[in-house]
Structure formats: structure tokens, C-alpha cells
Amino acid sequence: MRRLKMILALLLLSLALTSLYFLPSERSDSPAILSYRVVRTFPHDPNAFTQGLVYENGSLYESTGLYGCSTIRRVDLETGRILQIRNLPANYFGEGIAIVGDRIIQLTWREHRGFVYDKKTFELLEEFSYPTEGWGLTFDGKRLIMSDGSSTLYFMDPSTFEILGKIEVHDGKKAVDRLNELEFIEG
């Protein structure tokens, strides 16, 4: 009888320990903690209030902010020299940018206004509006993804700029607000 109780106790203990393995842990919901190492630095205009960056095919495209000083520019990464620049009207605060094909799309902060430029000439092709502030912008190959400083990411059609959907970003159960610059790298 005593031996049977011991076997039963060990069996119950084994079942209990095995079931712990299958329970969701708080850790599985936690974001990965990543490290980094600076491997190189590049010269940059110290007066540029950078709001958006895209590096494509050897060219660095940059959106700068501040009322009266906002620009869209193409910069030589190695030297920091501005190769091409277009100033925004003084009443716009430039924000995030994304490249879609041969176009650069730029958001503005509080003006609910976006601009579409020809990537080669920086000619203004189109303007569009959106219902929130504009902060960060990226392109996933199909849709634009926009942040507005909240915990919401908006998905937009890159041709019509219609809002297609949105998601709330959480760290476990807590919303992550103040989402800003966005990058979409290798899906």
C-alpha cells in the first residue's frame, strides 16, 4: 500500500510538472530584448530635424521637420552632402516618408496633409489628406503603414490613401503609445 501511494504521488507530481510546461507563461508575451552595436557613423547635417529616413539603392532619403524649415532631401550617406532638396511650405511640419515605386510619400504632423513627389525630380505630384496626425510612415510592399503618435497603426492604400484598417500595438496587455518612425525590413 505504501509503495502504491509513493508511485501515485510521483505520478501526480510528474503530471503537475508536465502541465506547467504547457501553460502560457508571462514571458512568452514579453517582447524580445535586443542588443545593438554601433559599427559605423556617418556625417549628417546638424541642423536637420530628421523625422523620416529611407535608404534605397544607395540613396538616403530624409524628411526633416520644424515649421519653416521642413524639407524632403536626398543625401550622400558617405559625406552627408545634400544632393537634392525641396522645401515644404512654412506652415507644414514634415514627418515620416515612404517610397512606393517611383514616388516618395511624405506626411505632415498636425496638418492632416500628405504629399506625393516624383522620386527622381522631387516634383510635387499630388496631395492627400488623412484623419489623424502624421508621424511615421513605411511601405510593406502592398500597403502604407502610418503611425500618429498613439498606439494605433493605420494601413493605407498607396494609390488612393484610403484607410484600409488599423491595429492597436500592445506589449502584453499594455498599449504601446507614442509610436513614431516606422521601418519595414525584409517582412
DSSP reduced 3-state for 106: strand
pLDDT tens-digit series, residues 50-70: 999 999 988 999 999 999 999
Single-letter code of the amino acid located at 27: R
Residue for grid cell 550617406: 77
* pLDDT score at 28: 58
Task: Please answer whether residues 63 and 45 qualify as being in contact, where contact means their C-beta atoms are separated by less than 8 angstroms.
Answer: no
Rounded to the nearest integer, the mean pLDDT of the chain is 87
Q: What is the pLDDT of residue 172?
A: 84
**Can you tell me the distance from the alpha carbon of 172 to that of 174, in angstroms, rounded to the nearest whole number?**
6
Average pLDDT over residues 23-33: 62
> Would you give the DSSP letter of residue 68?
T
119: in domain: yes
- Report the amino acid identity of residue 116: V
Residue 12 · residue 48 · CB < 8 Å: no
71, 77, 78, 79: CA torsion to nearest 10:
0
Q: Residue 100's domain is classified under what CATH number?
A: 2.130.10.10
Residue 12 binned pLDDT confidence (cut-offs 50, 70, 90): very low
Burial of 155 (0-12, 13-18, 19+ CB in 10 A): middle
In a domain, 98, yes or no: yes
Query: How many domains does the structure of the chain reveal?
Result: 1
What is the per-residue pLDDT for 173? 84
Whether residue 37 is contained in a domain is answered as no
Please check the confidence at residue 34 and state whether its pLDDT lies above 70: yes
Is residue 109 in some structural domain?
yes
Band (pLDDT 50/70/90 cuts) for residue 10 is very low
Does the residue 183 lie in any domain?
A: no
Where in the sequence is the domain holding 121, given as residue range(s)? 50-175
Asked whether residue 187 is domain-assigned, the answer is no
- Three-class SS state of 44: coil
pTM of this prediction? 0.81
Which residues on neighbouring strands pair with residue 74, listed in sequence order? 61, 84
Contact partners, residue 116, CB within 8 Å, separation at least 6: 103, 104, 105, 106, 124, 125, 126, 127, 128
The residue with greater pLDDT, 106 or 5, is: 106
Q: Name the residue among 156, 161, 153 with its Cα closest to residue 178.
A: 153
Residue 49: half-sphere exposure toward Cβ, Cα within 13 Å: 9
* pLDDT band, residue 135 (cuts 50/70/90): very high
Length of the chain: 187
What was the pLDDT predicted at 21?
A: 46
Whether 99 shows a pLDDT value over 70: the answer reads yes
